[in-house]
């Protein structure tokens, strides 16, 4: 029997979602697998909707796993959360078909990037948002964000060197909100490559600082010669909000 889980985590003390043989920090993946294997009394592998980098957080990451026996959903969630560290929490668990796959069945994802636009960071959330002590032109950032909406070749906004889809992705929605110097950037698309969101946000920040023009952003996106952006926002401001199926 196959189950789909939704998990929320604070990525600060992890090397990212995927297991890393050289890292001194644990991964989210191995942390969950150890707990799940203990509860099911069997070595159990999980399959995530995708990877998040070291320091990146999740409000609604998903993964699936198989079990030989039917689970008591409520009890299983409670058991997992009792054994997991406090910065990892299972939010829901549902039985799905055997042909379901957390990654390949996903139809879209939404990410949030959080910026604190003040000179002094908040010590209680310094690892949960990017503190930028320079004034940003939000209107220019909003105008620049429109360039990314739609289906494009994002070869210059990822660290990937090759891609089965020829770097083609579709961004369906892009929104920027600001309240009391707290800026949130929402990006929804059918899929994202490594560093793609962070490179897009990093580019928008350059526009907001007046260091890049909208025309330069457009030229970089449409450049047929691969030239990855050198602007990448820090990992700790990024959140995987939701995975859609």
One domain for residues 76 and 130:
no
Domain for residue 239, yes or no? yes
Question: Which burial class, exposed, middle or buried, applies to 214 when counting CB atoms under 10 A from its CB (0-12, 13-18, 19+)?
Answer: middle
One domain for residues 158 and 56:
no
Residue range 165-172: average pLDDT?
A: 95
One domain for residues 130 and 87:
no
One domain for residues 72 and 160:
no
Q: What is the mean pLDDT of the chain?
A: 96
Domain boundary among 96, 127, 142: 96
Which CATH number characterizes residue 85's domain? 3.30.70.580
Domain for residue 192, yes or no? yes
The share of the chain scoring above pLDDT 70, in percent, equals 100
Domain for residue 11, yes or no? yes
Place of tokens 């969630």: 77
Provide the pLDDT confidence category of residue 21 given band limits of 50, 70 and 90.
confident
Output the pLDDT for position 22.
83
Summarize pLDDT for 87-132 with one digit per residue, the tens.
999 999 999 999 999 999 999 999 999 999 999 999 999 999 999 9
Which CATH number characterizes residue 229's domain? 3.30.70.660
One domain for residues 79 and 188:
no
Output the pLDDT for position 14.
97
Provide the pLDDT confidence category of residue 179 given band limits of 50, 70 and 90.
very high
Domain, as residue range, for 74:
2-96
Contacts of 74 (CB under 8 A, 6+ apart): none
Output the pLDDT for position 99.
97
- Whether 205 has a pLDDT exceeding 90, the answer reads yes
Q: How many domains does the chain have?
A: 2
One domain for residues 48 and 132:
no
Q: How far is Cα 36 from Cα 43, in angstroms, rounded to an integer?
A: 8
Catalytic residue set: 53
Provide the pLDDT confidence category of residue 165 given band limits of 50, 70 and 90.
very high
Domain boundary among 65, 96, 127: 96
Output the pLDDT for position 20.
85
One domain for residues 48 and 135:
no
Domain boundary among 61, 76, 96: 96
One domain for residues 92 and 129:
no
SS (H, E, C) 60-128: EEEEEEECCCCCCHHHHHHHHHHHCCCCEEEEEEEEECCCCCCCCCCCEEEEEEEEECCCCCCCCCCCC
Output the pLDDT for position 13.
95
Domain for residue 101, yes or no? no
Q: At what angle do helices 138-145 and 196-208 cross, to 10 degrees?
A: 140
- Whether 163 has a pLDDT exceeding 90, the answer reads no
- Whether 23 has a pLDDT exceeding 90, the answer reads no
Domain for residue 102, yes or no? no
pTM of the model: 0.95
Establish how many alpha carbons lie within 13 A of residue 197's alpha carbon, considering only the half-sphere containing its beta carbon.
29
Question: Which burial class, exposed, middle or buried, applies to 216 when counting CB atoms under 10 A from its CB (0-12, 13-18, 19+)?
Answer: middle
One domain for residues 12 and 71:
yes
């Amino acid at each position: 029997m196959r189950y789909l889980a939704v998990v929320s985590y604070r990525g600060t003390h992890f090397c990212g979602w995927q297991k890393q043989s050289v890292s001194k920090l644990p991964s989210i993946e191995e942390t969950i697998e150890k707990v799940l294997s203990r509860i099911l009394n069997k070595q159990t592998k999980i399959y995530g909707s995708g990877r998040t980098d070291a320091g990146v957080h999740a409000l609604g990451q998903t993964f699936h796993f198989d079990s030989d026996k039917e689970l008591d959903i409520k009890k299983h969630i409670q058991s997992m959360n009792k054994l997991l560290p406090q910065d990892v929490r299972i939010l829901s668990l549902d039985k799905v078909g055997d042909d379901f796959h957390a990654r390949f069945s996903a139809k879209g994802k939404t990410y949030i990037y959080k910026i604190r636009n003040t000179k002094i960071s908040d010590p209680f959330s310094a690892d949960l948002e990017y503190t930028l002590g320079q004034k940003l032109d939000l209107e220019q950032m909003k105008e620049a964000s429109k360039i990314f909406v739609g289906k494009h070749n994002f070869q210059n906004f990822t660290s990937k060197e090759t891609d089965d889809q020829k770097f083609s992705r579709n961004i369906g929605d892009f929104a920027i909100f600001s309240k009391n110097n707290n800026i949130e950037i929402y990006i929804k698309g059918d899929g994202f490559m490594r560093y793609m969101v962070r490179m897009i946000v990093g580019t928008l920040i350059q526009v907001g600082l007046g260091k890049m023009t909208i025309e330069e952003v457009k030229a970089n996106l449409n450049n047929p010669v691969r030239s990855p952006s050198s602007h990448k926002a820090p990992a700790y401001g990024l959140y995987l909000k939701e995975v859609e199926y």
